[in-house]
Amino acid sequence: MLDPVSKTLLATLLATGAIVAASSSGNVFPQLPIVLPTPLVCIEDGCLIGTTRDALEGSQFDAFFGVPYAKPPVGQLRFRDPVEVEPWDGNYDASFERGKCVQKSDARPMSLVEGGEDCLYLNLYRPQNVREKLPVIFYIHGGSYASGSASFAEYGPERLMDTGKVIVVVIQYRLGVFGFLSTDDSSSPGNYGLKDQSMALRWVQRNIERFGGDPNRVTLVGQSAGGAAVQMHMMSRLSQVAERHLTNGSFLNEEPRALWAAGKYLQVPWITGTVPNDGAADSLGIVTNATLLYELNEKSRAYIPRLAGGVDNADTTPMLKDRFFPDGTDERWLTTHNFLNLQEVSKGVLD
């Protein structure tokens, strides 16, 4: 059996287009245009045929979409720890993206259930003509552990690929009930989404050298819920696959107010990180005046389902009111006494 390096060499030779040759009589065949072979890499599980994409400044980079790092978590594997993918024969088509994990999109006017359970894939991007081991960015998307994907449209690496100095891996993991349901016993221990991330990280450790990456220089990066996941991986034994490199010292070595007074800060667009309802539920713990309570009571039918993650309809609101706020009357469901209950409910639905 050929090793991965030999597989890659053989596959590349077979994939390369025609070459210019001369006959024994000295006549030279018409010169054909040189066609670069499609990106192809062979790993432990089999060979991957990728594609190319354009960076922002004219260069191109290799892209390997929809690379499986675990078996599809369906059937008997649903609500179970991820299982390593089995090797395949032939070449795997990594030229297009696979579907996102099951999720409900509440950001659209009509809430939709999107995606599928067969979703444990990653996208990998590398500069062309890698000649040295490059550092790797392992990116975990956000979305409150309930939404998101490795979509190229959302997490494209074009800017980083222009540098030619880094490889980027963007992963998908199980979300919502499929990723985090727990019965607190062996029936369904839970945290499958985080375990998916750990398995993807181990996949990178095993295979990234085949793409020109350095397994000893893998940086975990996350946005929002993905950032929280990075912190968890720093503490989890499941993710101890490489040496940790932490900055020894405080994040700011000067007192923030002194920096502000001295003008040592960067000006950024005022809308950065802010949307009209950003932190709305969190602010309940700060702004606890009578006006706010009156406003929430008057518009309880609109506010309660949103804060508790439900659907705005005539049946849901009374049920939530009776279950979570039994000491509130029909006219005044929110009081200073049960205010903490609302905060407890809202904690689970904020990112």
Q: Are residues 143 and 226 in the same domain?
A: yes
Question: For position 178, which CATH number holds?
Answer: 3.40.50.1820
pLDDT tens sequence for the chain (351 residues) = 555 555 554 555 444 443 333 334 444 444 444 445 689 999 999 999 999 999 998 889 999 999 999 999 999 899 999 999 999 999 999 999 999 999 987 666 566 788 999 999 999 999 998 889 999 999 999 998 999 999 999 999 999 999 999 999 999 999 998 998 887 777 778 889 999 999 999 999 999 999 999 999 999 999 989 988 888 887 777 777 655 554 444 445 566 667 677 876 655 444 444 344 444 444 444 444 556 556 656 666 665 555 545 555 555 555 545 554 455 544 455 555 555 554 444 444 334
Neighbours of 264 (CB within 10 A): 10
In a domain, 186, yes or no: yes
Q: Are residues 188 and 298 in the same domain?
A: no
Give the model's pLDDT for residue 136. Answer: 95
- Look at residues 187, 220, 239 and tell me which one is the last residue of a structural domain: 239
In a domain, 65, yes or no: yes
Give the model's pLDDT for residue 129. Answer: 87
Number of domains in the chain: 2
Q: Are residues 176 and 319 in the same domain?
A: no
Give the model's pLDDT for residue 111. Answer: 66
Give the model's pLDDT for residue 241. Answer: 66
pTM over 0.85: no
In a domain, 46, yes or no: yes
In a domain, 128, yes or no: yes
In a domain, 140, yes or no: yes
Q: Are residues 183 and 63 in the same domain?
A: yes
Give the model's pLDDT for residue 218. Answer: 92
Q: Are residues 52 and 197 in the same domain?
A: yes
Q: Are residues 219 and 288 in the same domain?
A: no
Q: Are residues 72 and 205 in the same domain?
A: yes
Q: Are residues 83 and 147 in the same domain?
A: yes
Q: Are residues 196 and 304 in the same domain?
A: no
Q: Are residues 199 and 54 in the same domain?
A: yes
Q: Are residues 335 and 208 in the same domain?
A: no
In a domain, 275, yes or no: no
Give the model's pLDDT for residue 167. Answer: 97
Residue numbers of the domain that contains 339: 282-347
Q: Are residues 229 and 335 in the same domain?
A: no
In a domain, 115, yes or no: yes
- Look at residues 208, 239, 270 and tell me which one is the last residue of a structural domain: 239
Give the model's pLDDT for residue 10. Answer: 52
In a domain, 272, yes or no: no
